[in-house]
């Protein structure tokens, strides 16, 4: 939960780096909250809560993905590759799952700090 709150506190910070664990723990809690809200919405017969949650979490999700891509030595603009049907999402997941690089243009390796 600490990783989720930390990512939310860096709401629109697109600079720096995010470790692999930080990113995937954020995604885990995001999915858990989203599924929980979708279940509540299913009982209510609406999709309002899940949609509102997704809209609120849009900017933090993009910013933590940009910081994760910085950690792999890529610019955050690589997220746009997800607009290519099927292959784009697969390539983006591979990029996000790669290990950290040493010091790069985006700062020192957070693993070594």
- Number of helices (H) and strands (E) in the chain: give both, helices first: 5, 0
Is residue 112 predicted with pLDDT exceeding 80?
A: no
Nearest to 64 by CA among 28, 98, 18, 24: 18
Q: Which residue in the block uniquely carries the two structure tokens 């990113």?
A: 23
What are the backbone dihedrals phi and psi of residue 29, each rounded to the nearest 5 degrees, phi first? Answer: -70, -35
What's the confidence (pLDDT) of residue 16?
A: 87
Is residue 107 predicted with pLDDT exceeding 90?
A: no
Q: In angstroms, how far is the first alpha carbon of the chain from the final one?
A: 22
Residues 39-79 have pLDDT tens digits of: 999 999 998 999 999 999 999 999 999 999 999 999 999 99
Is residue 14 predicted with pLDDT exceeding 80?
A: yes
The answer for residues whose C-beta is within 8 angstroms of residue 55's C-beta and 6 or more apart is none
What are the backbone dihedrals phi and psi of residue 94, each rounded to the nearest 5 degrees, phi first? Answer: -60, -45
Reported as a pLDDT band with limits 50, 70 and 90, residue 113 is: low
Q: What is the mean pLDDT of the chain?
A: 91
Instruction: Provide the 8-state DSSP code for 85.
Output: T
Is residue 101 predicted with pLDDT exceeding 80?
A: no
102: left (phi over 0), alpha (psi -120 to 50) or beta: beta
Q: Give the span between the Cα atoms of 45 and 40, in whole angstroms.
A: 9
């Amino acid at each position: 939960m600490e990783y989720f709150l930390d990512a939310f506190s860096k709401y629109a910070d697109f600079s720096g780096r995010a470790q692999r664990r930080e990113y995937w723990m954020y995604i885990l809690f995001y999915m858990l909250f989203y599924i929980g809200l979708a279940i509540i919405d299913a009982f209510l017969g609406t999709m309002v809560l899940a949609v509102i949650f997704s809209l609120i979490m849009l900017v933090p999700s993009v910013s933590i993905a940009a910081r994760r891509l910085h950690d792999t030595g890529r610019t955050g603009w690589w997220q746009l590759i997800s607009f290519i049907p099927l292959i784009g999402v697969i390539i983006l997941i591979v990029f996000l799952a790669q290990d950290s690089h040493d010091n790069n243009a985006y700062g020192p390796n957070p693993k070594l700090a």
